[in-house]
Structure formats: structure tokens, C-alpha cells
Amino acid sequence: MSYQALYRVFRPQCFAEIVGQEAIVKTLKQAIIQGKTSHAYLFTGPRGTGKTSIARIFAKAINCRQSKNGEPCNQCESCVAITKGSFEDVLEVDAASNNGVEEIRNIRETVKYSPLLADYKVYIIDEVHMLSTNAFNALLKTLEEPPERVIFILATTEVCKVLPTILSRTQRFDFKRIGNEEIVFHLEKILQELSIEYEKAALCVLARVAEGGIRDALSLLDQAISYAGNFLSLEDVLVITGSLTTEALDQYLSACFSGNVVKSLEFLTEILAQGKEAKRFLEDLIRYHRDLLMFQQVPRIVIEKTNTITDAFQQLAKDVTMEQIYSNIKCLNEAEQEIRFGGSAGIYLEIVTIKLATYSQSSFDMEEKLEVCHKNELSILCEELNQLKETVARLQDEKGSAENTEKSLLKKDFVVSDGVYKNPIEEIHQVLFSATKENLHSLKEVWDDLLASLDARQRAMMKASEPVAANSAQMVVSYDYDILAIKASQDEVLKQAVGDFLNKTIGFSPDLVIVTSSQWPNLRHEFIERNREKLQSGNIEEDEGESASLVKSVPKVISENVEIVEEAVHLFGEDFVKVIEGDR
């Protein structure tokens, strides 16, 4: 007898032998036991996951007179005939080669006749998505009004190509990819039955390359046995599948992560000289990076999955940052796409090797450098804040009262009480009387440049601030935290640096007036309420001085029922004014 491939020899003959589709198997068995089978089923999923095998087992079980718990006996005449493919009441149609209207019309003609030997006539149409639109329409009528004791099982790997009208008339079962652990366990059983010794790491590689398909795994195993004989080693499987050894990946990526471009290219040349496929090489690299990332978070999972954790791998997992891994994976994915649609794979691999090594040498790209810079600034700021807290605590201990602490921290620009910044209300109001939208916009336009011009400590302090009002002599700057407001009000060097920069860029250098962001809306509202009558009536005394000059410019004809929105916009800008209808 001629040799049969392993996937044919070990094709499942009952539901219990199906690997990895427990939910589907249970549903179909219960339907058979309870006598609630449907007239049409749709099996969809990746190749080699058991669609046609389950269809044949279902056809046997539904027609088996000695069926137990939904399982076929595989001994009666109908079971044996279906297994051999010679049973007249179970017809298999390959839609890839029989996709025309005539073939479907033949099925419509034969479906009218009752089963000859079995209880049910079963039609298994494989790759049903290959049918033409006219063929689908011809099949549709039969699915709508099927004759008694006829069951259709449609199988496809591309369910998106099946017409919705067909989908709506079938029970759909989605087959999943089979897990690597389940594939390895199944391969072990087969090798033990064949009395062939093996390395488990070799089976792990076969399962990974099969990508969830049990038929592909058996085909690869068949090929590996033919190559290796009675002992299946990891090296043999790597040769068969075109994959790389873990040691080769260790050497190549160690050179890349160390920034050694020359050595990285030398290892790449050796790998390509062995005839390794570019696509498989990139897949191995991406998987390696995935394992590094997983090992950094949950080492146990990687150890259980791969069984090939080397010392070099563990060292890389300690040395390499997550940012480097993410960047490399992105680079490898891009190279995979370029090779798929581009020309010479070797050229693209050389380019990606240089990218990996160059990135590792520079450590971080521009974005990451900025992030590190910001972290350093925050660290400096935290250090300054800690020093200030220590100073306050020491002064409290020495003086014995909050009053002495307030005096020790008091400066001309601010007041502190129990560590809370006291806003200079009158000074803020004075700025608001002569503040203009133009001055504020001038400040905002150069604010980012101002931050960039300061040193790390000053920039860290000013990052938590923003200008909210300004005239030609002063500007109100809002701070998010009281402690930063206190620190900024004390820092004469910072004020001088801000003034010098603004004088160079916008032609005037307003003094800093510090306000906390939590109190700024209240102070702004208080200013408007305090000066409401003056702003609405325009009655301003001549002796009120220069601070009233802006108020005088407000039009006197203002309705009594209209809020002074225009004046608020003029003072604070449109971004800071919101009109709320209703009671105050």
C-alpha cells in the first residue's frame, strides 16, 4: 500500500479526537443527542483547524444507527463507507473547482430525492466562498425551503465573501486557531504512537510555525520525520522550517542592542548565507522581541512556552528598555511590509539591521530625549520643593509658631500663612484696570520660547504657570500650586531672567504678579462685580488717575440687562470669558 501523509492517517474519526474546538464539538453532539439538528451549517475559520473533519464526523454521527452520546461507532456500514468517501448519501463538493451555476443546479436536482441508505442526505460544500454570485443565488432557494432529511454543511476560510442571504439561513460556527500547547500535546501523542524520539523544543517550533493549524503542523512533522529519521531534534526542525536557532538570534540582536553596526551586518550575512527566508527571519525577530517584553513582565509564561531560555536572552531582558523593544518591533513591522511589496529582501534586511543598531547606539530618539529632559526637570523641581519643605519645617521647629514662619517667608511680592499663598488682590486689580488683550496675546505667543530660554530649574518651575492678564508694566501669572507660587515670588533671579527675555522679544518687560489658579476666577469675578456700576454707566471721576484710563474707553450706551461681556473680553481675552444664562 502506498504511503499516506500523517494528516490523512491521523485524521479524527470521532468528536473525541478533535483538537482545540471543544465548544463546537459539544454543541453539535448535544444537537444530535436531542434531535435538534439544523438543515444548514456554516463552518468558518483558518485552514487546518478541523472544519471538514468535523463535517464528516457529524455526517457519520447523524446517520449512525449505533451512535452513543452523539459519537459515531465507526464500525457500522455507513460509518465505514463515509470514512472511505464512498457513501452515496454523503456528498462532498469542492467549490473551488465546481463554482458554477450548473454544479449547483445538479445539487438542486439530486436534493429532491430521499436518502438511499441513510437517515439524512448530507452535502458538504468546501471553500463555499469560491461560488459565483449566480451559483450562490441558485443555492439560496434550496436553503430557504430544504427538503426533509437533507443537511447542508458549508465550509469556508473567508466568510466575508459569503453572501449575507446565505449566512442568515445557516447556523454559523467559528473555528479558532489551535493553541501551541494543544498542538504540541497532539504531536507528542503521534510520535509516541510511531515510536519516534523527539526534543520538545522541536515540537514547540513546529507548533509556532503552523500558526494554529493542526493540519499544517502534521505536514511539517511528516517532513521533519522524513529528514531526521527516528530522532527529531531542534536543529532538524529549524532546518526544515527555515527558522533560526535561539543562539543565532541572541548573537544578532546582542550586536544590534550594543550598537555594533559592523558586527550586526556580519551576523546578518551569515544568516542569509544559510538560505534563511526573509519573511521567516523577520517573524523570528518579532517573536524574540515579544518574548523579551513578556519576560520583563511575566517570566514564567515565556519559560513555559519556549523551553529555550538562554543566558544571553535573560541578560538582554535586563539591559534593554521597553522603549527600545517597542521601537524595534515597529521598525521590523515596517520592514515586513516593505519586503512584501518591494524588491530585494536582502537589501531591506540590511537597512533594518542598520536601523536597529543605530537606534540602540543612540538609545533614544528625539521624542524620548525630550521625555527624559522633562523627567529631569521634574526631578530638579521635586528636589527644590523638598528643600523648601525642610526649610519650613526647620523654621517651625525653631520659632515654635506659624506666625514666625510667615515672617521668615514674607517677601514684597507675596504673603504666606500656614503654607498657603496669599494673593496680592489690590495689585492684581491694579493690573486689570489697565490690562489689554493685545498685551496678553503678545505674552502667550512667546511663552513657549520663554520656557525654552530658561535653565532646567527655572523652566521646571515656570512649566506649571501661564499668563492670564497683562498691561505694559505688569503681568498676572497663574500657578497651579501654592508652593510653586511661593517659590516663584521669592526667586529674584527667575524674575530677572523672564524680564530680560520679554524685553528682547516683545519690547517690554512686565513685572511678575503671582496668583494661584484656584483663586484666579474668584479674583477676576470680584474685580468685575466691584467695578460693575462704573463699567456700565461710564461715570468715572477725573481724579481716579491712570488706572481708570481703560474703563473710560468703554461705551456709555450699554443696556441695563446686558452683562459687561465686551469689557470682560477686552480685559481677559475670548478664551477666558464664558457667558452663563440664568440667575447669578
> What is the DSSP annotation of 563-581?
--HHHHHHHH-GGG-----
Neighbours of 492 (CB within 10 A): 10
pLDDT of residue 486: 82
Sign of the CA dihedral with 155 first, then 160, 163, and 166 last = positive
Strand partners of residue 455: none
Tell whether the model's pLDDT for residue 374 goes beyond 80: no
SS (H, E, C) 397-454: HHHCCHHHHHHHHCECCEEEECCEEECCHHHHHHHHHHCCHHHHHHHHHHHHHHHHHC
Q: Which CATH class is domain 6-174?
A: alpha beta
Across the chain, which distance is largest between two alpha carbons, in Å? Answer: 119
Q: Kindly tell me if the per-residue pLDDT of 411 is higher than 50.
A: no
| Beta carbons of 191 and 232 less than 8 angstroms apart | yes
pLDDT reported for residue 248? 79
CA dist., res. 375 & res. 380, Å (int): 9
**Cα(125)–Cα(155) distance, rounded to whole angstroms?**
6
Mean pLDDT of 468-492: 83
- The DSSP element (H or E) to which 103 belongs, if any, is helix 101-110
pLDDT in tens, 45-57: 888 888 888 999 9
pTM: 0.54
Measured CA distances, 569 to 518, 524, 527, 530 (Å): 20, 12, 14, 17
Residues of the chain with CATH 1.10.8.60: 180-241
Phi-psi region of 14 (alpha: psi -120 to 50; beta: other; left: phi over 0): beta
Classified as helix, coil or strand, 172 is strand
What is the grid cell recorded at 510? 512686565
Tens of pLDDT, residues 99-139: 667 777 777 777 777 778 888 888 888 888 888 777 787 77
Given pLDDT bands bounded at 50, 70 and 90, which one contains residue 421?
A: confident
pLDDT score of 403:
47
Residue 284's nearest CA partner among 247, 242, 243 is: 243
Answer whether residue 362 shows pLDDT above 80: no
pLDDT over threshold 60, residue 445: yes
pLDDT of residue 373: 55
Res 568: pLDDT: 62
Residues 82, 59 contacting (CB under 8 angstroms): yes
Least confident of 77-86, 198-207, 361-370: 361-370
User: Contact, 277 vs 257, CB < 8 A?
Assistant: no
Mean pLDDT estimate for the chain: 77
The pLDDT value recorded for residue 360 is 57
Of the candidates 82, 63, 134, the residue with the CA atom closest to the CA atom of residue 103: 134
User: In this predicted structure, what is the pLDDT of residue 539?
Assistant: 47
Q: Residue 449: pLDDT above 80?
A: yes
User: pLDDT: is 72 or 95 the higher one?
Assistant: 72
Directed axis angle between helix 180-193 and helix 214-228, to 10°? 40
pLDDT at res. 371: 56
Percent of the chain whose pLDDT exceeds 90: 1
pLDDT of 93 higher than 60: yes
pLDDT value for 544: 39
Statement: residue 577 has pLDDT above 70:
no
Q: Look at strands 415-417 and 420-422 and give their pairing.
A: antiparallel
pLDDT cut 70: percent of the chain above it: 80
Ranges 312-326, 379-393, 427-441: which has the least confidence:
379-393
C-alpha cell at 102: 450548473
Q: How confident is the model at residue 543 (pLDDT cuts 50, 70, 90)?
A: very low
- To the question of domain 246-362 being in CATH 1.20.272.10, the answer is yes
Q: What mean pLDDT is predicted for residues 12-18?
A: 87
The predicted-structure confidence for 161-206, as pLDDT tens digits, reads as follows: 888 888 888 889 999 888 888 888 888 888 888 888 888 888 888 8
Q: Which CATH architecture has domain 180-241?
A: Orthogonal Bundle (1.10)
Q: Is the model more confident about 310 or about 408?
A: 310
Contact 95, 161 (CB under 8 A): no
- Lowest-pLDDT range of 173-187, 372-386, 442-456, 546-560: 546-560
pLDDT at residue 384, as a whole number: 67
Region(s) of the chain under CATH 3.40.50.300: 6-174
Residue 319 pLDDT > 60, yes or no?
Answer: yes
Distance between CA atoms of 468 and 405, rounded to whole angstroms? 30
- Separation of alpha carbons 454 and 493, rounded Å: 11
Q: What is the mean pLDDT of residues 205-232?
A: 84
Does 91 score more than 80 pLDDT? yes
pLDDT at site 136: 81
**CB-based contact 523:425 (threshold 8 Å):** yes
Average pLDDT (453-472) is 81
Which of the four pLDDT bands, split at 50, 70 and 90, describes residue 240?
A: confident
Angle at 440 between CA 436 and CA 446, to 5 degrees: 150
pLDDT interval class at 548 (50, 70, 90): very low
Domain span(s) for CATH 1.20.272.10 in the chain: 246-362
Identify the three-state secondary structure at position 199.
coil
- Tell me the average pLDDT across 63-68: 85
